[in-house]
């Protein structure tokens, strides 16, 4: 079962109570999880709790990913997201969904890095092609005055 805790429905007082409870677990895994929960809620981030050995329906998996069900079905049909068939119904194992999320995040980070590198190279080429000499800068300065 998945449980969604919407940050908009949690008061500041409740967040403070979670933080106090986390301090009572001082450094344990439970304390760390509670602190992360409180931090996310304080930032306005909704939190979803997932059972690791759970199998999800396509609707549930789509909700976790924040995509439409038809988009999720296309991901499964293209082989990007593993699933199994139970009768005529599809089920996605939580580890497979988490694997997809990790691969998707890595791919996004790689593309962002490539785009940033490309933009940096473009600016370098532009700057090198249009270097201003001291005379050019002096002329520009005189135009501004």
- In this predicted model, what pLDDT tens digit does every residue of 63-121 receive, in sequence order? 889 899 999 999 999 999 999 999 999 999 999 999 999 999 999 898 888 888 887 77
Domain boundaries, the chain: 1-49, 53-145
Cα separation, 67 vs 65, in Å, equals 6
pLDDT number for residue 22: 92
Residue written as token pair 């403070």: 16
DSSP state of 131: P
Per-residue CA distances from 12 to 26, 40, 45 (Å): 21, 12, 14
**Other beta carbons within 10 Å of 17:** 14
Residues in Cβ contact with 34 at an 8 Å cutoff, skipping those fewer than 6 apart = 18, 19, 21, 22, 25
**CATH number for the 53-145 domain, one of 1.10.287, 1.10.3470, 3.30.70, 1.10.1660?**
1.10.1660
pLDDT number for residue 77: 96
């Amino acid at each position: 079962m998945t449980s969604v805790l919407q940050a908009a429905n949690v008061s500041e007082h409740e967040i403070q109570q979670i933080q106090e409870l986390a301090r009572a677990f001082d450094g344990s895994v439970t304390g760390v999880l509670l602190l992360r929960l409180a931090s996310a809620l304080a930032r306005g981030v909704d939190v979803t709790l997932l059972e690791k050995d759970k199998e999800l329906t396509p609707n549930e998996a789509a909700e976790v990913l924040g995509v439409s069900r038809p988009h999720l079905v296309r991901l499964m049909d293209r082989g990007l997201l593993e699933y199994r068939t139970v009768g005529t119904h599809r089920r996605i194992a939580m580890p497979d969904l988490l694997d997809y999320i990790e691969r998707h995040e890595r791919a996004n980070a790689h593309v962002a890095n490539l785009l940033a590198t490309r933009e940096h190279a473009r600016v370098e080429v532009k700057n090198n092609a249009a270097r201003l000499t001291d005379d050019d800068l002096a002329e520009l300065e005189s135009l501004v005055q």
